[in-house]
Amino acid sequence: MNNGQESQKANYKVPFGTVSLTPMARELINQALDTKWLTKGKYVREFEEKFAALFGVKHGVAVSSGTDADALACAVLYDFGANRGDEVIVPALSFIATGNAVFQAGLTPVFVDIDRETLNIDPEKIEAKITSRTRAIMPVHLMGKPADMDAIRRIARKHGLKIIEDAAEAHGAEYRGEKIGAMGDMACFSLYAAHIVTTIEGGMILTSSDAIAEALRSLRNHGMVGKFTFERIGFSAKMNELEAAVGLGNIEIFDDILSKRRRNMSYLIEKFRRFNKVFITLKEEPFEKLGPHAFSIIVREGAGFTKDEFVAFLEVNSVDSRNLFYSMPTQCPSYAFLGYQLGAFPEAEYCSDHGTHIGIHQDIGVEQLDHVVAVVEQFLKNKGVAYL
């Protein structure tokens, strides 16, 4: 990105993301620098403990990215009887890291189409994809919307499968009174800059299993156990002390960040009800709480305009956005070797072709959200679209 583009993005009235760097984090960073021990140490251990406590689970294992979190969680399956090439069921629609991580662990992603209204894996389509080589289901709580965990857990129990929650975007989400991140055998979080708890880069794996936690700690450090005994084929995926310091600062203000993001999400959900004829947006059901990561907007069929026209109007009017993710097996050229043809995952492909998402982070205020609503109304009026 050139300097002109960076300057333009910095001047968005409604920017997509932000980072909260607290005074506590700055102080811990300075303390870590003073010790001259910057690789994994006491701050990483403290961060793991406090992050796990947020979700009511026993163990947190900090790693270098959300992608590594997914990959290590998949690699743990070898400790439970998996073999190279065995299968992990994943939704077709997700950030590419979900599928990449399965491959990086030496396993095979098996893709299942999604529900257009929730953006999450369609449980009714899972069992048809289960084979004798299936070892786990990896639901993604996309945009912080909880997947249908009741159905997924029933299927997993029936077939003896592990559940690996990809909760990268679901910090603070809840499903029927349970915290997302505490509902599977493992849960993987991204701690990238756009998320509620961030370490700038980084990831976290949660589990209440002692055996899984032990395997994960080995896997993140080349498969090492003790001093230079290598029991597994591992990764180099450790978190450092400076990243953990930023994360500890974010945990200190977690409730404040979460409440502001929930306010923003709820506000847009309510305001966008008037646009229901032309847009699909996430809804919060009575039995759940969304983890407010971003606000997705999908153009309905027959709306009278394209996603690209809509996004261009947002851009001109200083609203930053990101395209919705791709159907990994059919819209990502890097996965062409799998041999899928366009049309194999119609719901995921539709959402990708017609969807975008905008920020609802803690540094956005109601005035900025009102600007978003006004821009959307103006766009629809310019297009002559009746939306009420």
* pLDDT band, very low/low/confident/very high, at 34 (cuts 50, 70, 90): confident
For 1-5, 68-72, 104-108, 381-385, which range has the lowest pLDDT when averaged over its residues? 1-5
pLDDT at 19 exceeding the cut of 70: yes
Count of H-run helices and E-run strands, the chain: 13, 16
* Mean pLDDT within 90-115: 98
pTM here is 0.94
Average pLDDT over residues 47-76: 98
Give residue 9's region: left, alpha or beta (phi > 0; psi -120 to 50). alpha
- Averaged pLDDT for residues 231-251: 95
Nearest to 303 by CA among 321, 324, 276, 326: 276
**What's the average model confidence in pLDDT over 101-130?**
98
The token pair that represents 25 in the structure block: 């984090």
| 250-275 residue pLDDT tens | 999 999 999 999 999 999 999 999 99
CATH architecture of the region 254-382? Alpha-Beta Complex (3.90)
Residue 6: count other Cβ atoms within 10 Å of its Cβ.
10
DSSP letter for each residue of 166-215: E-TT-TT-EETTEETTSSSSEEEEE-BTTSSS--BS-EEEEES-HHHHHH
Residue 231 has pLDDT above 50, yes or no: yes
**Mean pLDDT of the residues in the chain:** 95
Q: How far apart are CA 253 and CA 343, in angstroms?
A: 44
Greater pLDDT, 328 or 228:
328
For strand 288-289 and strand 229-230, is the pairing parallel, antiparallel, or unpaired?
Answer: unpaired
Higher pLDDT, 346 or 16: 346
Determine the average pLDDT of the residues in 349-358: 98
Q: What's the confidence (pLDDT) of residue 3?
A: 39
Q: Assess whether pLDDT exceeds 50 at residue 311.
A: yes
* Domain ranges within the chain, ordered by starting residue: 23-252, 254-382
The continuous run of DSSP H or E covering 357 comes out as: strand 355-359
Given a cut of 60, is residue 9 above it in pLDDT? no
Cβ contact 322:357 at 8 Å: yes
Looking at the domain that runs over 23-252, which CATH code has it been given? Answer: 3.40.640.10
Q: What is the mean pLDDT of residues 237-241?
A: 96
The reported pLDDT for the residue numbered 10 is 53
- For 7-11, which contacts have Cβ atoms below 8 Å and span 24 or more sequence positions? 9/320, 11/318
